[in-house]
Amino acid sequence: MMTQGFGQRLADATAARGPLCVGIDPHPALLSAWDLPEDAGGLERFALTAVEALAGEVAVLKPQSAFFEVYGSAGVAVLERTIAEARQAGALVLLDVKRGDIGSTMTAYAMAYLDEHSPLAADAITASPYLGYGSLAPAIGIAEQTGRGVFVLARTSNPEGAGLQRSVHGSGDSIAQYIVDSAAETNAGADPMGYVGVVAGATIKPGELDFSKLNGPILAPGLGAQGATVADLRAVFGPALPQVLPATARDVLHHGPDVGGLRSAARRVRDDLARLLVA
């Protein structure tokens, strides 16, 4: 079990290394670009090269579970090793699994990714609340017990999500705002911030969501290939900018397989973010 909660550990990591999350997304096109075979061996070389290059440089690494699962048990074994080696090198690992279910099934997912005895245990996971925010209670409870985190999808960067996420909830707010406010209730009183974050794309409209009560981290995908720039972050998130964990993947990964190239690309983004925060 962690001796500190996830909110504190994330705050410490971003203070030391800057607020950057880099995805480890072994997409077939990237494997090909790195001249690697589209099999478990190529997957392992890709993922461990990314860990070697980046785990000592950035605060958070975010493996996309689907790109490992597609290779079956061999791919899941690579994912286990990727998580372990990234954490050993000092990075926090946010496992992008986007799980969402009910009851005992949600509990099983939470045990798989958040229980300290699981070989797949990460520092945090992404989760989908679209079976009801309350359906995530098992994951949120286990995360609290083990000092880990949960990032709940609120207003995602994909265009298809807008219609649902902007729909009006029974509270009168948008569904996305309801999710942010629900996370805020869990995080109330936490210092420096709580362990339940939200996912809100860096491509959303400025002012679309009110994060003033969240008291938790905001994972902001969409930086780089999806069109958002470092400069956009201040406009989109405003006063909540210190809580934002911007995420990028392809803009860094396409500099591989050269370890030095990957590190240099991550450092450039990290340094741009640092300048934004002091501007």
Question: What positions carry a catalytic annotation?
Answer: 98
The answer to whether residues 22 and 13 touch, using CB atoms and an 8 Å cutoff, is no
In degrees, rounded to 5, the angle at the alpha carbon of residue 152 between the alpha carbons of residues 56 and 64 is: 45
